[in-house]
């Protein structure tokens, strides 16, 4: 899952710090640990991971752009 997040979900318009990347991956792992088996083995998992990442990255993007 870490590889998926790193290759598909990290932003291109600004760089995350090593600490932010670690926090992002920890958030994804934490939420996946709470996911039921039905969702873990379904196509919805990709969308769930994207949503988790987007919530974290959105805050950092706004901080980066000064909004």
Instruction: Give the pLDDT score at 33.
Output: 92
Instruction: Give the pLDDT score at 41.
Output: 87
Residue-wise pLDDT for 14-66, tens only, equals 999 999 999 999 999 999 999 888 888 888 899 999 999 999 999 999 998 87
Residue 28, Cβ density class (10 Å: 0-12 exposed, 13-18 middle, ≥19 buried): buried
Instruction: Give the pLDDT score at 67.
Output: 62
pTM, two decimal places:
0.85
Closest CA to 56 of 7, 2, 10: 10
């Amino acid at each position: 899952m870490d590889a998926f997040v790193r290759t598909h979900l990290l932003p291109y318009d600004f760089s995350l710090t090593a600490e932010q990347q670690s926090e992002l991956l920890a958030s994804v792992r934490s939420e996946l640990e709470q996911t039921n088996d039905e969702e873990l083995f379904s196509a919805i998992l990709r969308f769930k991971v994207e949503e988790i990442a987007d919530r974290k990255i959105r805050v950092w993007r706004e901080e980066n752009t000064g909004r």
